């Protein structure tokens, strides 16, 4: 199964959700390079508080880069240009939060996010994103809660780190 692309969703869902984090989504014309894309097109790009996507950008990529912005500290966010950086704990936090945020996009949802992450090649100790999320992410939940990014019910707190 092909991964869900930004062209396959209502862009308003992504834009309005990410606006809660002060992120702006900018669409890039087809076949143009994507500014701030660390992995190159069609992967999403990130410069400052602007998330760049094309119609062929995978939704999981857009959410992953957005979650880097949300999970990084203020110092890194202030100079963000292409390489989000971050350590192991932050990368896990990004993956976990993108799964939570996928619920806010009608066409995506958690089950599709798991499938798309696995299809794209995210790797987890237990062999799949869902197994990691369900059975091996306790330390990640603690990390996200420590920084106020999710609440005690493991729901997005709609705050930046």
Predicted confidence pLDDT, tens digits, the chain (161 residues) = 699 999 999 999 999 999 999 999 999 999 899 999 999 999 999 999 999 999 999 999 999 999 999 999 999 999 999 999 999 999 999 999 999 999 999 999 999 999 999 998 887 777 899 999 999 999 999 999 999 999 999 999 999 99
Domain count, the chain: 1
- DSSP E strand boundaries for 44-160: 45-47, 50-53
Structural domain including 111 reads 1-149
Note whether residue 158 is domain-resident.
Answer: no
Note whether residue 19 is domain-resident.
Answer: yes
Note whether residue 160 is domain-resident.
Answer: no
Note whether residue 118 is domain-resident.
Answer: yes
Note whether residue 156 is domain-resident.
Answer: no
Residue 98 main-chain phi, psi, to 5 deg: -65, -35
Bridge partners (DSSP) of residue 81 are 47
**CA distance linking residue 141 with residue 152, whole number of Å:** 9
* 101 CB-near residues (< 8 Å, 6+ apart): 17, 63, 66, 67, 156
How is the beta sheet containing 45-47 ordered, strand by strand? Answer: 24-27, 50-53, 45-47
Note whether residue 114 is domain-resident.
Answer: yes
Indicate the pTM of the whole model. 0.95
How far is Cα of residue 81 from the mean position of the Cα atoms in its chain? 16
Note whether residue 157 is domain-resident.
Answer: no
């Amino acid at each position: 199964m092909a991964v869900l692309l930004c062209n396959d969703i209502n862009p308003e869902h992504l834009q309005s959700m990410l606006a809660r984090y002060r992120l702006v989504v900018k669409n890039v014309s087809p076949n143009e390079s994507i500014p701030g894309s660390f992995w190159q097109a069609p992967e999403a790009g990130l410069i400052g508080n602007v998330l760049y996507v094309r119609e062929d950008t995978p939704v999981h990529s857009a959410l992953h880069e957005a979650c880097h912005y949300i999970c990084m500290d203020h110092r890194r966010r202030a100079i963000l240009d292409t390489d989000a950086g971050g350590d192991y704990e932050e990368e896990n936090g990004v993956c976990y939060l993108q799964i939570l945020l996928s619920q806010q996009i009608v066409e995506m949802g958690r089950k599709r996010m798991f499938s798309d992450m696995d299809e794209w090649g995210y790797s987890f100790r237990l062999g799949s994103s869902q197994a990691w999320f369900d059975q091996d992410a306790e330390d990640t939940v603690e990390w996200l809660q420590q920084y106020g990014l999710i609440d005690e019910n493991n729901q997005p707190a709609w705050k930046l780190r």
